[in-house]
Amino acid sequence: MIKRTLFFSNPVYLSTKNQQLVASFPETEKGAVTIPIEDLGYIILENSQITVTNGLLMKLVQNKTAVITCDQQHMPCSFLQPLVGHSEQTERIRYQLNASVPLKKNLWQQTVSSKIENQANHLEERGIHALKLKRWANEVKSGDIHNHEAIAAAFYFQNLFTIDGFSRNQKGVAPNNLLNYGYAILRAITARALVSSGMLPSVGIFHHNKYNPFCLADDVMEPYRIYIDALVYDMVQKYKQYDALTTALKSELLTIPALDVYIDGKRSPLMVAMSRTTSSLHECFLGTSRRILYPSYGS
């Protein structure tokens, strides 16, 4: 089932009644709106004057609904996740923590190769020569010891956006702002799926910054970044102005959980595909599989 994404940019009072989310708008004459909590996958809170009751937060967490809050620049900055996301969580975390170095290096090799292959397919879809990326995708070694991931990313973005002054940088010129927003949503989707699969988003297979609580999410989301890139590319072609994150731009970026992706030869909503990826990752930690399942762009 595809879960709904709710976005609140104006002052609102959010509470719960009869397993429903109740949204009341004190500054308008608009009546209260109710939505079944079981239908919700993501809630994004942008306005600093939004009030949320503890009763609602409890029910959202129990439903594994991701609650994302935004900072003063309207960028997602925090993510509420449950302490217990799976009935076998303790055992699954133990397998994750005990994963061997060779296994983690192999998983990172698969991740980087899949990411570069997707980047190549995206460039080719746009009519851009991508033979280098195709070659690099096949040359990735265990642990990506030659750093093909960074080399490919530099080549990819240099060829994808022919915009004066553009380079991929969080603080760079637009459409970096759109990419940043989209990647933040993707990160929350990934973290939600990892928790639901009983794993710790903070313990990565490659990323290991002690200040980063989402190292594993940053690992797993890499091959999925292409879907945000493709969405942003289309938005750049569609909109003349995209320097500021307008409501129209954010509305398109909030479709990310429901984007169609191809995984294991079948079409699937991105949020469902991500759950299949995290489930396959657990099987790798468990030792019943050696392959992590990632989507294939354009298949």
Are residues 161 and 23 part of one domain? no
Q: How many domains does the chain have?
A: 2
Asked, for residue 104, whether it belongs to a domain, the answer is yes
Asked, for residue 94, whether it belongs to a domain, the answer is yes
Q: Which domain-ending residue is among 25, 55, 80?
A: 80
Are residues 219 and 134 part of one domain? yes
Asked, for residue 183, whether it belongs to a domain, the answer is yes
Looking at this protein, which amino acid is placed at residue 35? I
Are residues 206 and 159 part of one domain? yes
Neighbours of 177 (CB within 10 A): 21
The answer to whether 222 is a known ligand-binding residue is: yes
Are residues 233 and 103 part of one domain? yes
C-alpha of 44 from chain center: 14
Are residues 161 and 57 part of one domain? no
Asked, for residue 299, whether it belongs to a domain, the answer is no
Candidates 257, 209, 229, 234; CA nearest to 6 is: 257
β-partners of residue 80 are: 67
Q: Distances from the Cα of 129 to the Cαs of 95, 119, 126, 132, 230, in angstroms?
A: 42, 11, 9, 8, 16
Which residue has tokens 């079409």? 267
The answer to whether 283 is a known ligand-binding residue is: no
Asked, for residue 276, whether it belongs to a domain, the answer is yes
Are residues 57 and 120 part of one domain? no
Are residues 181 and 231 part of one domain? yes
Q: Which domain-ending residue is among 55, 80, 105?
A: 80
Tell me the residue range of the domain where 31 lies: 4-80
Q: What is the pLDDT along the chain (299 residues), one digit of tens a residue?
A: 689 999 999 999 999 999 999 999 987 777 899 999 999 999 999 999 999 999 999 999 999 999 999 998 888 999 898 888 899 999 999 999 999 999 999 999 999 999 999 999 999 999 999 999 999 999 999 999 999 999 999 999 999 998 999 999 999 999 999 999 999 999 999 999 999 999 999 999 999 998 898 999 999 999 999 999 999 999 999 998 999 999 999 999 999 999 999 999 999 999 999 999 999 999 999 999 999 999 999 87
* Per-residue confidence (pLDDT) for residue 243, from 0 to 100: 94
Asked, for residue 39, whether it belongs to a domain, the answer is yes
| Distance of alpha carbon 156 from alpha carbon 158, whole angstroms | 6
Are residues 75 and 94 part of one domain? no
> What is the CATH classification number for the domain harbouring 71?
3.100.10.20
Q: Which domain-ending residue is among 54, 80, 106?
A: 80
Asked, for residue 296, whether it belongs to a domain, the answer is no
| Distance of alpha carbon 117 from alpha carbon 249, whole angstroms | 28
* Per-residue confidence (pLDDT) for residue 297, from 0 to 100: 97
Are residues 135 and 74 part of one domain? no
* Per-residue confidence (pLDDT) for residue 24, from 0 to 100: 95
> What is the CATH classification number for the domain harbouring 254?
1.20.120.920
| Distance of alpha carbon 35 from alpha carbon 177, whole angstroms | 31
The answer to whether 29 is a known ligand-binding residue is: no
Are residues 280 and 189 part of one domain? yes
Asked, for residue 238, whether it belongs to a domain, the answer is yes
With beta carbons less than 8 A apart as the criterion, state whether 104 and 142 touch.
no
| Distance of alpha carbon 256 from alpha carbon 125, whole angstroms | 20
Are residues 206 and 167 part of one domain? yes
Q: Distances from the Cα of 217 to the Cαs of 8, 57, 156, 189, 247, in angstroms?
A: 25, 23, 22, 9, 27
Are residues 185 and 271 part of one domain? yes
| Distance of alpha carbon 270 from alpha carbon 264, whole angstroms | 13
| Distance of alpha carbon 110 from alpha carbon 95, whole angstroms | 19
